[in-house]
Structure formats: C-alpha cells, structure tokens
Amino acid sequence: MRIAIAGASGRMGRMLIEAVTQSTDLKLTAALDIAGAPMLGQDATAFLGKLSGVLITDQLSALKQADCLIDFTRPEGSLEHLKACVTHGVNMVIGTTGFDDAGKAAISEAAKSVGIVFAPNMSVGVNATLKLLDMAARILNSGYDVEVFEAHHHHKVDAPSGTALKMGEVVADAWGKKLDDIAAWTRHGHTGARKPGEIGFSVVRGGDIVGDHTVYFCGVGERIEITHRSSSRAGYAEGSLRAARYLEGKKSGLFNMQTVLGL
C-alpha cells in the first residue's frame, strides 16, 4: 500500500516515516509539511541516514501518489488535508487532536467519500485501557468520584489531551451522561465542595513526557487508579500503520481504533 505522511518533520511524522520504511508491505510515496517548514525539499528519510527519493513537499497534489494519508499535524492542517484526500480519493488515518465540533463534523462528512480512521490515541495499550475504564465505570457507578489526570511534554498545544477527553467520554457514556454536562475542566480559588457525579480534569505539561493518563475512581476508604504510560511514540506509529492496513480497499466509512483492533 502506498502511504503519504503529513507533518513529515514533526515528532509523530518522523516516527511514522521510520515505521513505514521498516515495514515490508507499506511504501512511503509522499511526505507533506506546512508551507515554509524548514525541511521542505529534503529527502523524507534523510534523518534516518538514508534516501528514499521522496522529497518533503507542501503541494497537496502529491497525494495522487498515495492510497492512504496518515496525518498527525494540527486541526487546521488535517482539515485542509481532508479536503485534498476527498478530491483525490485517498483514505486517511487522523491522529491529530484538538478538533472542535465543526472539525469533527467535517471528518464525518468526508467519511461518506473516503475511508477514515480517527482516534485520539492509536496505541493498543490505551485502547485496551478504554475498555477497562468502561467496565470500571459501569461497576463503580455511584459513590465514586472520577478524576482524569494527564501529563505531556512542554510542546503539546491542546489540553486536556484527546486521550483524556476520550477517557472522560467513556466514563460519562457508561453513566448515561454527556461529558460536557458533568465535566469540571478547571478549579481555582474558592471552588466549594466537589459536586457528586462530576468528572474532574487535571493537566501537567513538562519536559519530554511522552504521555501519561490516569483515571481515579475515589471512594470512601479506597480508590482505584487505572493508568497508562507511554515511554515511546513507537506504539502510536505502529497503531497508525494497523489503521492504514485496515482501510485498504475501503471506499468510505468512519472508524475508530476500537474497531481496527477488534475490541
């Protein structure tokens, strides 16, 4: 399968290029980056000490060379790439986080014309954790205060992380609620006592933390903590390649990683 990578010089872009290069069934055929990016015109695998013949470009027409685009950029970039994928009939794996409702609606609409896997976290471990959370939330559905904690590197621009939001949604769904109705996004000053049934969020940004997530179920006299920690971005890249393979031959449809992994 012919693969294009967007955000080719980003943290995930490079990890994905390395993973595609190491695979035997996928071929890197296009590498995109934003206009003005310093790496434009460079060979996409030069950072690995070898040449692929694929030059990093800001020309979205390069997508004609691909069957699937894997995109870890920013919402505005992913939405521009989405339009180009629809134009050229290219499937898409979207790992970017931080979309607003209009962005999510645009992805759903595009999935009528191309196949899309859209997930805030591509790692097998995180997706298994989401299943565990669903089970825990159904059992601990009263008398437990739920708090979602996440920590990431100092470059991260969106908060809470897409994964933390998904974790909150899984718990809210299990309780038959909408996350927006019960989330406590920030606390500062004289907040008053915690409201029963709310889901609190807290965020750390620092150094090179790849990605930690913990959901606390705090009862009286006990608490349960469900934690996932990433120590490398390799799991996100491997999951993305599984998603791209899942889309092979699909003409349309919106899928998540739970579906890709058969969870």
Ligand X SMILES: O=C(O)C1=N[C@H](C(=O)O)C[C@H](O)C1
Ligand Y SMILES: NC(=O)C1=CN([C@@H]2O[C@H](COP(=O)(O)OP(=O)(O)OC[C@H]3O[C@@H](n4cnc5c(N)ncnc54)[C@H](OP(=O)(O)O)[C@@H]3O)[C@@H](O)[C@H]2O)C=CC1
Catalytic (active site) residue 152: yes
Please say whether the beta carbons of 144 and 219 come within 8 A. Answer: yes
Closest contact distance (angstroms) between CB of 244 and ligand X is: 17
The interface with ligand X within residues 100-139 (CB under 6 A) comprises 120-121
Task: Map residue 201 onto helix, strand or coil.
Answer: strand
Q: Which stretch binds ligand Y (CB under 6 A): 7-15, 59-67, 102-110, 188-196?
A: 7-15
The amino acid that residue 111 corresponds to is A
Q: Taking CB within 5 to 8 Å according to partner kind, which of ligand Y, ligand X, none is near residue 152? A: ligand X
Q: How far is the CB of 118 from ligand Y (least distance, A)?
A: 9
Q: Kindly report the backbone phi and psi dihedral angles of residue 68, in degrees, each rounded to the nearest multiple of 5, phi listed first.
A: -150, 135
User: CA 233, 237, 242, 247: dihedral to nearest 10 degrees?
Assistant: 130
259 is in an annotated binding site: no
136 carries a ligand binding annotation: no
Task: Kindly state whether residue 103 participates in binding ligand Y, applying the rule CB under 6 A.
Answer: no
- Using rule CB under 6 A, residue 13 touches ligand Y: yes
Could you tell which of ligand Y, ligand X, none binds residue 91, using a CB distance below 5 to 8 A set by kind? Answer: none
Please, are residues 246 and 119 in contact by the beta-carbon 8 Å criterion? Answer: no
Stretch that binds ligand X, among 47-55, 74-82, 84-92, 157-165 (CB under 6 A): 157-165
Residue 161 found at the interface with ligand X (CB under 6 A): yes
d(CA 258, CA 263): 5
Q: Which residue is nearest to ligand Y (CB)?
A: 10
Find the binder of ligand X among 73, 97, 129, 202 (CB under 6 A): 97
How many other C-beta atoms are found inside a 10 Å radius of the C-beta of residue 209?
Answer: 17
Q: Show the tokens assigned to 234.
A: 């390799």
Q: Does 162 bind ligand X (CB under 6 A)?
A: yes
Alpha helices in the chain (DSSP H): 11-22, 75-88, 101-110, 124-139, 162-174, 179-182, 234-247, 257-261
Binding residues: 7-12, 33, 95-97, 119-122, 153, 162-163
Catalytic residue numbers, as ranges: 152, 156
